[in-house]
Structure 1
Amino acid sequence: MAGATQVKFVVLAEGDAELAVQLESVWHLAAKRKTGQASFKIELFIYVQKVAARSTIRRATEGRIAVATALIDNQLRSQPEAESLGEASPA
């Protein structure tokens, strides 16, 4: 469908059985055309929903730094001794 508008695009079925039926239908329609199935092509355009980005920047306040430090310390303490990462020094 070179040059086709997005209005003519068709959403593919999500399930395997539904997709098979959808493709068989398109294949059957192609057989009715003059050049038939010999010139059969499928162009796929995959659209992914855009993830909204955070619009705010979180500043490194004393409270947030303290919370992050506590989380890191707890994680380091929960590691087995064999996986010890050594001392972490505050910046």
Structure 2
Amino acid sequence: ATRSDEVVSFEYQLTVRGAKSWFEARITALHDHQQAVCVVRNFTELHEARQQLESMAHYDALTGLANRALLDKLLEQSVRSARRNNQRMGVLFIDL
């Protein structure tokens, strides 16, 4: 059960006839907890713009290769994962 002021939100993707669309659903219980209100919005254009910005930030436009920013991000994730799981890790970095 949720409080009447609590909003549950999630994103999901639907594919219809090969076209992918992204939606956000926001659900909140009404005061009697017997009913709820759900608002769904299509945010496909915003999702695609975010994906494009993410790609531009992490990949070289000319070569399509991953850049240093992506290396730093993935390395940070790997270190956190290794610490969380009490695992060892190593990195071999060759700068061309």
TM-score (norm 2): 0.30
Identify the structure with the greater helix proportion: 1
TM-score (norm 1): 0.31
Identify the structure with the greater strand proportion: 2
Larger radius of gyration: 1
